Amino acid sequence: MTKKRIHVTRATARAVPKVAILIETSNSYSRGLMRGIVAYMREHRPWSIYMSEHSRGDRLPAWLRQWDGEGVIARIENTSIARVVETLRVPVVDVSAARLIPALPWVETDDAAIAALAAGHLLERGLKHFGFCGDERFNWSKWRGECFVRLIGEAGRPCSVYRPLRRHTAASETQIEYIADWIAGLPKPVGVLASYDYRGQQVLDACRRRGIAVPDDVAVLGVDNDDLLCDLSDPPLSSVILNPRRTGYEAAELLDRMMAGESIGPEKHAIGPLGIATRQSTDVLAIDDADVSAVLRFIRDHACKGIDVKKALDAVPQSRRRLEYRFKKLLGRTPHEEIVRVRLNRVKSLLVETDLSVEKIAHLAGFEYVEYLSVLFRHKCGMPPSEYRAENRR
């Protein structure tokens, strides 16, 4: 591949560190990593960036063997890349979970937090059966699966795990047929976590081939929130929103410290998810109590419009006290707590994804007074909204 050299300043090479970026740009997560690296450079000092176009798992570009730079950020995902990187006498930060060079510091997704968010999302839909569809080629998929199964078990629910056959590639037609057979044998309705969006798209394809209704019989949740992939899925795929921009920013910060002479150990720097983008594939409420289901759906549709508990319960012609009791028994929280939870999730999303003022965000999330939002947010999240925004956007 042709080497690209990007000069971020006119300063001399001696004044600007030369950094190699070995990250493919073929998917949204990787592009998010690059945005984080660029954000760090803009906020601190410029680097002269060397990179090449390549796909995940490709061999190392030949130019790197004679390269004379000061640092490297890489997704080290095969042994050929690992062998060459180990010969470089410069600081290296790994942004892969493969851990082919255990001595390096690494920045990766917080897979336990991803699993916890996914489990909560599917459990609160009232589902009683669950499944995990992963890809055993990747450590992050294994870790997400292990945590998801444990959390579902702690909730007192069964969780089936799909074991992909290694002799088939991820894109194989046979693979999708095996996924379809697995799903067909699961009790319904069932909530399925796919370890990443592409696998989630395969699960949806498998359901379509077997005539299994989504989300009524199978609710499907992916990970990555690749907007294009999720919106092109049929039906559109709900997905856990990762924070690759912060991952790239943190990797750049670590490399800068190492190039300045600081010693950084091989510990993992885990970056948590931002939330869940709910689309049609998990738009289901598998609650046996139709009245509670109606109240819950009303809250999710109207919480950010300033409704109170009375208005939510008025949606169902039943005794308020009895309805609140049934709601708490089935969901483990009161209608008021559900309204607050939905509003705060909206606030978190707007803080990270927009530049809107906290006052404007309070209004959009259904809070009448920004002061009340600030106090409540600090109480529930352990920090004020402004700090949450800074922490998650870096």
Q: What percentage of residues in the chain have a pLDDT greater than 90?
A: 63
Higher-pLDDT residue of 283, 123: 123
Q: Residue 252: which of 32, 57, 58 has the closest Cα?
A: 32
Query: Mean pLDDT across the chain, nearest whole number?
Result: 89
Count of Cβ atoms closer than 10 Å to residue 274 Cβ? 21
Give the pLDDT band of residue 2 (cuts 50, 70, 90).
very low
DSSP, residue by residue, 13-30: TTTS-EEEEE---SSHHH
pTM beyond cutoff 0.85:
no
Residue-level pLDDT at 300:
83
- For 107, the enclosing helix (H) or strand (E) is strand 106-109
Helices 111-123, 139-154: axis angle to 10 degrees equals 40
Is it the case that residue 182 has pLDDT exceeding 90?
A: yes
Residue-level pLDDT at 126:
87
> Which CATH code fits 3-108+244-271?
3.40.50.2300
Residue-level pLDDT at 170:
57
Integer Cα distance of 271 and 273 in angstroms: 7
Q: Residue type at 60?
A: L
Is it the case that residue 289 has pLDDT exceeding 90?
A: no
Give the pLDDT band of residue 56 (cuts 50, 70, 90).
low
Is it the case that residue 86 has pLDDT exceeding 50?
A: yes
Integer Cα distance of 35 and 294 in angstroms: 42
Is it the case that residue 8 has pLDDT exceeding 70?
A: no
**294, two tokens:** 């109606």
Give the pLDDT band of residue 53 (cuts 50, 70, 90).
low
Is it the case that residue 4 has pLDDT exceeding 70?
A: no
Return the ∠ at Cα 344 (arms to 341 and 347), rounded to 5°.
155
Give per-residue pLDDT as tens, 10-24. 333 447 999 999 998
Residue-level pLDDT at 9:
38
Task: For residues 326-331, give the mean pLDDT.
Answer: 85
Q: Residue type at 195?
A: S
- Classify domain 290-393 at the CATH superfamily level: Homeodomain-like (1.10.10.60)
111-242+276-282 and 3-108+244-271 share a CATH fold: yes
Q: Residue type at 289?
A: D
Give per-residue pLDDT as tens, 121-166. 999 888 999 999 999 889 999 999 999 999 999 999 999 999 876 6
Domain ranges of the chain: 3-108+244-271, 111-242+276-282, 290-393
Residue-level pLDDT at 369:
93
Give the architecture-level CATH label for domain 111-242+276-282: 3-Layer(aba) Sandwich (3.40)
Integer Cα distance of 99 and 57 in angstroms: 14
